[in-house]
A and B are shown apart, each in its own frame.
Chain A
Amino acid sequence: MSDWLETWQSPMVQDALRVGIVLAIVAGYLGIYVVLKRIVFVGAALAQVSAAGVALAFLVGWNPLLSATLFALAGSLFFAQSWSERRMSREAVIGAVFLTFSALTVLLASKGAHGMEEVQHLLAGDILAVAPEEVWRIWILGVLVAFLLLRKEFLLVAFDAETAQALGYRTRWWEFAFYLMLGGLIGAVIHLVGLVLIFGYLVLPAMGALLLCRHVASAAVVAIVNALLATVAGLLISVVFDLPTTATILALMSAIAALEGLASAAMSHSSR
Chain B
Amino acid sequence: MSDPLVRFQEVQLGYGRQVVLENVQLDIFRGDFFGLVGPNGSGKTTLLRCLLGILKPLSGEITRSAGLRIGYVPQREMLDPRFPLTALDIVLMGRYPCAGVFRSPRRADRDFAMQCLQQVGLGEAAHKLYRELSGGQRQRVLIARALAVEPNLLVLDEPTNGLDLPTEAAILGLIEQLHAQSGLTIVLVSHVLNVVARYATRMGVLLDGRLLVGDAEELMQEQVLEEVYGVPVCVQRLDHHYIVAVREIEEACSDE
Asked whether A and B interact, the reply is yes
Residues 64-86 of chain B, each 1 if its beta carbon lies under 8 Å from chain A, else 0: 00000010101000111011111
Kindly report which residue of chain B lies nearest to residue A162, judged by CB atoms.
Answer: B74
Between-chain CB contacts (< 8 Å), 28 pairs: A36-B82, A38-B80, A151-B101, A152-B104, A152-B105, A153-B101, A159-B83, A159-B85, A160-B74, A160-B79, A160-B93, A162-B78, A163-B74, A163-B145, A165-B53, A166-B53, A166-B54, A166-B70, A166-B72, A167-B72, A167-B94, A167-B96, A213-B84, A214-B84, A216-B84, A216-B85, A216-B89, A218-B84
Which residue, A158, A162, A169, A216, has most C-beta atoms of chain B within 10 A?
A162
Q: Chain A contacts of B99 at CB under 8 A?
A: 152
Which residue, A152, A156, A168, A219, has most C-beta atoms of chain B within 10 A?
A152
Q: Which of A140-180 contact B (CB under 8 A)?
A: 151-153, 155-156, 158-160, 162-163, 165-169
Residues 197-230 of chain A, each 1 if its beta carbon lies under 8 Å from chain B, else 0: 0000000000000100111101100000000000
Q: Which of B40-64 contact A (CB under 8 A)?
A: 52-54
Q: Chain B contacts of A218 at CB under 8 A?
A: 84
Contact B70 A159 (CB under 8 A): no
Q: What 4 A-B pairs come out closest when comparing CB atoms? A: A166-B72, A166-B52, A165-B54, A156-B93
A174 to chain B, nearest CB (A): 10
Kindly report which residue of chain B lies nearest to residue A160, judged by CB atoms.
Answer: B79
| B244 CB within 8 Å of chain A | no
Contact B83 A216 (CB under 8 A): yes
Interface of A is mostly: helix
Give the complex CA separation of A166 and B70 in angstroms: 7
Q: Which of A38, A156, A215 contacts B96 (CB 8 A)?
A: A156
Give the complex CA separation of A144 and B104 in angstroms: 19
Given contacts A159-B85, A163-B93, A166-B52, 8 further A-B contacts (CB under 8 A): A152-B105, A163-B145, A166-B70, A167-B97, A214-B84, A215-B84, A216-B84, A218-B84
Q: Which of B117-173 contact A (CB under 8 A)?
A: 129, 145, 149, 155
Q: Chain A contacts of B105 at CB under 8 A?
A: 152
Contact A215 B93 (CB under 8 A): no
A107 to chain B, nearest CB (A): 37
Q: Which of B79, B80, B89, B94 contacts A215 (CB 8 A)?
A: B89
Contact B84 A163 (CB under 8 A): no
Q: Chain B contacts of A158 at CB under 8 A?
A: 83
Contact A167 B149 (CB under 8 A): yes
Q: Chain B contacts of A210 at CB under 8 A?
A: 82, 84
Contact B84 A153 (CB under 8 A): no
B53 to chain A, nearest CB (A): 7
Contact A162 B96 (CB under 8 A): no
Give the complex CA separation of A270 and B79 in angstroms: 28
Give the complex CA separation of A111 and B80 in angstroms: 46
Give the complex CA separation of A225 and B31 in angstroms: 52
Q: Which of B1-37 contact A (CB under 8 A)?
A: none
Q: Chain A contacts of B149 at CB under 8 A?
A: 167
A123 to chain B, nearest CB (A): 31
Q: Chain A contacts of B79 at CB under 8 A?
A: 159-160
Kindly report which residue of chain A lies nearest to residue B75, judged by CB atoms.
Answer: A162
Contact A215 B86 (CB under 8 A): yes
Q: Which of B83, B102, B145 contacts A36 (CB 8 A)?
A: B83
A90 to chain B, nearest CB (A): 15
Give the complex CA separation of A43 and B89 in angstroms: 27
Contact A152 B74 (CB under 8 A): no
Contact A151 B102 (CB under 8 A): yes
Contact A159 B80 (CB under 8 A): yes
Q: Which of A59-115 contact B (CB under 8 A)?
A: none
A262 to chain B, nearest CB (A): 18
Kindly report which residue of chain A lies nearest to residue B52, judged by CB atoms.
Answer: A166
Q: Which of A162, A213, A215, A216 contacts B54 (CB 8 A)?
A: A162
Give the complex CA separation of A159 and B96 in angstroms: 14
Which residue, A169, A214, A219, has most C-beta atoms of chain B within 10 A?
A214
Contact A214 B83 (CB under 8 A): no
Q: Chain A contacts of B85 at CB under 8 A?
A: 159, 215-216
Give the complex CA separation of A163 and B143 in angstroms: 12
Q: Chain B contacts of A166 at CB under 8 A?
A: 52-54, 70, 72, 155
Give the complex CA separation of A153 and B155 in angstroms: 22
Q: Chain B contacts of A219 at CB under 8 A?
A: 84
Give the complex CA separation of A160 and B145 in angstroms: 12
Q: Chain A contacts of B101 at CB under 8 A?
A: 151, 153
Give the complex CA separation of A160 and B94 in angstroms: 11
Q: Chain A contacts of B80 at CB under 8 A?
A: 36, 38, 159
Contact A152 B72 (CB under 8 A): no
